[in-house]
A and B are shown apart, each in its own frame.
Chain A
Amino acid sequence: MSDAAPIRDPLATGARASDLERLRGTLPDAVLERAAARLAAPPPVDQWRAALSLGLALLGATLLGAAVIHAVAFNWQAMGHAVRLCLPLVAMTGCALAGWRLGMERLGGVILLSLACLLAGAALLVHGQTYQTGAHAWQLFATWAVLIAPWVWVARFAPLALPWVFLVNVAFGAFWESHDFLGLRTREVVGTSITTLANAALLLAWERWGERFLRAGDGRWGPRVLGLMAVVPVTFATWWSLLETDRQALLLTISGLTLGALLLAMHHAYRRVRPDLFQLTVVAFSVVSCLTVGGARVIFRLTSIGDGGVLLMAVWVVALVGGAATWLRARHREISA
């Protein structure tokens, strides 16, 4: 499944003065100086026109939008409950209908549908405030995520799918915040580990079907963000388990096993199956950070070195970061070859 990358054309990118500096010695100085003079020349009239037109239109629209918000805020108290609730619902419906008319093949269409998804959250918020439903935060976020899921599915738009995943994560986080099963520090360790497994499953799905299913999902940014969303929380959970004294063995087993399994899987996938140096960097520095925290625990809690421990930590960090940098440099050569 290893992808053969097409040969890059470094001359196809927008020209910058720093690129010309890198070509000193390769091209004659006279050519580079003429190129530098061309780069420093002001843009043509068409470009100014496009920039000023876009900038002033955005400024005007923002100010008019702010005027509407101020007008609504001024009259808010005088509005009835139904009117308050109708405002975001009408805006949401308008955006969704306009997006549907434009079609999901056009950028404008998916942006309008994305806006409708955002306004759905605003409607839920206004509903909660107006009728004082007493719902928990996780219920609000979970309802929001469930309600907009069909639109996210229809849009098949990567920049909308990823915030939706983030919303699901927030719902999970808020849920673990208010539920503690068996006194197991659910929020800090068990909940985080379960969320991580869910994110890892989504990462696998994105890698497997993302390019075919999602629009604007053909770059590497989607899996990379998901990779971070999977690794970072469980790394924090492992730090927490390392520093915790109560039931440490059990908590460390849960978070350590989750983190270890995830990192091993990512190491295999991103070194052998689909080489990706960014994901390997995430793996390496997750290990470095856990070993740093573990080292700090051993040095400061389990020994009586005193102030010398701070110096020992400096040496430990230099050794870990140096080791990680050497390993990543070797992987970089391996992937570039």
Chain B
Amino acid sequence: MTPLHRPTLRETLAAAGADAESLERAADTLRRADDAALPWYIRAATGFGAWVAACFFLGFLTLTGLFREHGVNFVFGAVILALAVWLSTRDKGGEFVRQLALVLGLSGQGFVLASLEILKLEIIGIGLFGAALAAALLVLHRDPVHRFLCAGGALTGLLVAAGKAEIAWLGEALVVAALAVVVALGGRPEARRAPPLSGLRVPVRFGLLATSLGVLAFSLGKELRAEWMSPVTSVGLTALLGVQMFRDMAALGAAPARRLLLIPVLLVVGYIAQSAPGVAAALIVLGMALRERDTLLLLFGVVFLAVFLGGFYYELALPLWHKAGVLALSGAFALAVRGVVLRLLPSEGRA
């Protein structure tokens, strides 16, 4: 059985009570929908064209000297934001209009944020205003890519405000909380809601995830880590990983005594997380990927685990020869954990 194996749609629907006639109807519907939809590469190429055209248009407006006044920028930004939201709610228009709504939405936010001097706001205020604007657009703008960027933008705005307020732990707590939200939103069916509240979960999850992991990338450099990172991140992320692992073990029906075997693994991860907190975050993402059988999450997890683990070993202040020893011991530890896992999780065929 492959790690991300999913039952087929036919198996899933049949198990949910669909009869043969319903299954054929469903196949027909999906076939017609697939034939009507343009393939991704045509949409991507057309979308790229929309971005190029929009850049030329905005370039022309800039060259006219229209944007020398902050007031004009603010009004222009608000107008094109409204236009972008309206375009995003239209079902017709195809990929070009969709991408136009996206580029106008992003440009509008840029114009508004760049002109906030007229409101006499400090950096903290700009951060909070940006977060509030992104949160509002997250709901109003229907495009999933725009929603993904707005989720990341809202978190970034809060992090900027927290950083400027010089409350050291607040930014770190925000990153841990964002990852906790990502974990909490996974593994359950999305509730049915009417627009504009429908279709929010996936872009919000990935927006928060990409931003959190991006912020954690700052922990790769020793100086940066020492400057802004306290044990809040490493302890918080290790605790979140622990909660996730215990929950999964419970879902698999493991006896409480067996669940205690997770503690040594968590202690090792916690130790590594002190100097590479991203390792714990990447393991959290890998856990989600396996539970949800999600290829994109798996890709995120593998890439970030490689980056953070690589950073951890690179920064070890040891001669190459000793580093080789530490790497060999770590490899042996991973293989030992594999042995324990295979003993703890007997194959269902043999159970």
Residues of A within 8 A of B (CB): 8-17, 19, 22-23, 26-28, 30-40, 42-57, 59-64, 66-68, 70-71, 73-74, 277-278, 281, 284-285, 288, 292, 307-308, 310-311, 313-314, 317-318, 320-322, 324-325, 328-329, 332, 336
Given contacts A328-B38, A329-B38, contact A64 B328 (CB under 8 A): yes
Q: Do residues A67 and B348 form an inter-chain contact, with CB atoms below 8 A?
A: no
Q: Do residues B63 and A307 form an inter-chain contact, with CB atoms below 8 A?
A: yes
Residue of A11, A22, A71, A320 with highest tally of chain B CB at under 10 A: A11
Q: Do residues B189 and A17 form an inter-chain contact, with CB atoms below 8 A?
A: yes
Q: Do residues B348 and A46 form an inter-chain contact, with CB atoms below 8 A?
A: yes
Q: Which residues of chain B are within 8 angstroms of A57 by Cβ–Cβ distance?
A: 335, 338
Q: Which of A11, A56, A59, A66 contacts B13 (CB 8 A)?
A: A11
Q: Which of A31, A43, A53 contacts B22 (CB 8 A)?
A: A31
B residues 298-351 touching A (CB-CB < 8 Å): 313, 319-321, 323-325, 327-328, 330-335, 337-338, 341-342, 345-349, 351
Given contacts A12-B10, A49-B345, A50-B1, contact A73 B25 (CB under 8 A): no
Q: Do residues B30 and A23 form an inter-chain contact, with CB atoms below 8 A?
A: yes
Given contacts A13-B9, A311-B57, contact A328 B42 (CB under 8 A): yes
Q: Do residues A22 and B16 form an inter-chain contact, with CB atoms below 8 A?
A: no
Task: Give complex CA distance A69, B288 in Å.
Answer: 32
Q: Do residues A53 and B331 form an inter-chain contact, with CB atoms below 8 A?
A: no
Q: Which residues of chain B are within 8 angstroms of A10 by Cβ–Cβ distance?
A: 9, 27, 30-31, 34
Q: Does B190 contact A (CB under 8 A)?
A: yes
Q: Smallest distance from the beta carbon of A26 to chain B beta carbons, Å? A: 4
Q: Does B23 contact A (CB under 8 A)?
A: yes
Given contacts A11-B30, A71-B324, A321-B53, contact A39 B12 (CB under 8 A): yes
Q: Which of A47, A74, A310, A317 contacts B321 (CB 8 A)?
A: A74
Q: Do residues A70 and B320 form an inter-chain contact, with CB atoms below 8 A?
A: yes
Q: Smallest distance from the beta carbon of B262 to chain A beta carbons, Å? A: 12
Q: Which residues of chain B are within 8 angstroms of A325 by Cβ–Cβ distance?
A: 42, 46, 49, 94-96
Q: Do residues B2 and A40 form an inter-chain contact, with CB atoms below 8 A?
A: no
Q: Does B256 contact A (CB under 8 A)?
A: no
Task: Give complex CA distance A38, B189 in Å.
Answer: 9
| Interface of A (DSSP majority class) | helix
Q: Does B209 contact A (CB under 8 A)?
A: no
Residue of B10, B12, B31 with highest tally of chain A CB at under 10 A: B12
Identity of the chain B residue whose Cβ is nearest the Cβ of A332 in the assembled complex: B38
Task: Give complex CA distance A137, B45 in Å.
Answer: 35
Report, nearest first, the 4 A-B pairs whose CB atoms are least far apart.
A321-B49, A63-B331, A14-B6, A51-B3
Task: Give complex CA distance A329, B27 in Å.
Answer: 23
Q: Which residues of chain A are within 8 angstroms of B56 by Cβ–Cβ distance?
A: 310-311, 313-314, 317
Q: Smallest distance from the beta carbon of A285 to chain B beta carbons, Å? A: 5
Task: Give complex CA distance A51, B5 in Å.
Answer: 10
Q: Which residues of chain A are within 8 angstroms of B34 by Cβ–Cβ distance?
A: 8, 10
List 17 A–B pairs whose Cβ atoms lie within 8 Å, in order of A's numbering: A15-B6, A15-B7, A22-B30, A27-B26, A31-B17, A39-B12, A42-B291, A45-B346, A48-B345, A53-B341, A60-B338, A67-B328, A70-B327, A74-B321, A307-B60, A325-B49, A325-B96
Identity of the chain A residue whose Cβ is nearest the Cβ of B28 in the assembled complex: A26
Task: Give complex CA distance A285, B47 in Å.
Answer: 12
Q: Smallest distance from the beta carbon of A15 to chain B beta carbons, Å? A: 4
Q: Do residues A11 and B321 form an inter-chain contact, with CB atoms below 8 A?
A: no
Q: Do residues B290 and A60 form an inter-chain contact, with CB atoms below 8 A?
A: no
Q: Does B87 contact A (CB under 8 A)?
A: no
Q: Do residues A321 and B50 form an inter-chain contact, with CB atoms below 8 A?
A: yes
Q: Does B18 contact A (CB under 8 A)?
A: yes
Residue of A284, A288, A310 with highest tally of chain B CB at under 10 A: A310
Identity of the chain B residue whose Cβ is nearest the Cβ of A306 in the assembled complex: B63
Q: Does B119 contact A (CB under 8 A)?
A: no
Q: Does B69 contact A (CB under 8 A)?
A: no
Q: Smallest distance from the beta carbon of A295 to chain B beta carbons, Å? A: 11
Q: Smallest distance from the beta carbon of B86 to chain A beta carbons, Å? A: 19
Q: Which of A11, A43, A284, A321 contacts B8 (CB 8 A)?
A: A11
Task: Give complex CA distance A13, B5 in Å.
Answer: 11
Task: Give complex CA distance A130, B105 in Å.
Answer: 56
| Interface of B (DSSP majority class) | helix
Q: Which residues of chain B are within 8 angstroms of A9 by Cβ–Cβ distance?
A: 10, 27
Q: Which residues of chain B are within 8 angstroms of A292 by Cβ–Cβ distance?
A: 52
Task: Give complex CA distance A116, B342 in Å.
Answer: 32
Given contacts A56-B334, A67-B324, A311-B57, contact A37 B189 (CB under 8 A): yes
Given contacts A15-B9, A307-B60, A311-B60, contact A317 B49 (CB under 8 A): yes
Q: Smallest distance from the beta carbon of B253 to chain A beta carbons, Å? A: 8
Q: Do residues A35 and B3 form an inter-chain contact, with CB atoms below 8 A?
A: no
Q: Which residues of chain A are within 8 angstroms of B337 by Cβ–Cβ distance?
A: 56
Task: Give complex CA distance A288, B45 in Å.
Answer: 10
Q: Do residues A318 and B15 form an inter-chain contact, with CB atoms below 8 A?
A: no
Given contacts A26-B29, A52-B341, A66-B313, contact A39 B189 (CB under 8 A): yes
Q: Which of B54, B188, B331, B342 contacts A60 (CB 8 A)?
A: B331
Q: Do residues A45 and B252 form an inter-chain contact, with CB atoms below 8 A?
A: yes
Q: Do residues B341 and A317 form an inter-chain contact, with CB atoms below 8 A?
A: no
Task: Give complex CA distance A327, B190 in Å.
Answer: 38
Q: Which residues of chain B are within 8 angstroms of A52 by Cβ–Cβ distance?
A: 290, 338, 341, 345
Q: Which of B3, B29, B49 contacts A47 (CB 8 A)?
A: B3
Task: Give complex CA distance A19, B23 in Å.
Answer: 13
Q: Which residues of chain B are within 8 angstroms of A42 by Cβ–Cβ distance?
A: 187, 248, 251-252, 291
Q: Which residues of chain A are within 8 angstroms of B6 by Cβ–Cβ distance?
A: 14-16, 39
Q: Which residues of chain A are within 8 angstroms of B25 by Cβ–Cβ distance?
A: 26-27
Q: Do residues A44 and B348 form an inter-chain contact, with CB atoms below 8 A?
A: yes
Q: Do residues B22 and A27 form an inter-chain contact, with CB atoms below 8 A?
A: yes
Q: Do residues B330 and A63 form an inter-chain contact, with CB atoms below 8 A?
A: yes
Q: Smallest distance from the beta carbon of A35 to chain B beta carbons, Å? A: 4
Given contacts A11-B13, A42-B187, A277-B42, contact A321 B290 (CB under 8 A): no
Q: Smallest distance from the beta carbon of B223 to chain A beta carbons, Å? A: 24
Q: Smallest distance from the beta carbon of A298 to chain B beta carbons, Å? A: 15
Q: Smallest distance from the beta carbon of B32 to chain A beta carbons, Å? A: 10
Identity of the chain A residue whose Cβ is nearest the Cβ of B24 in the assembled complex: A11
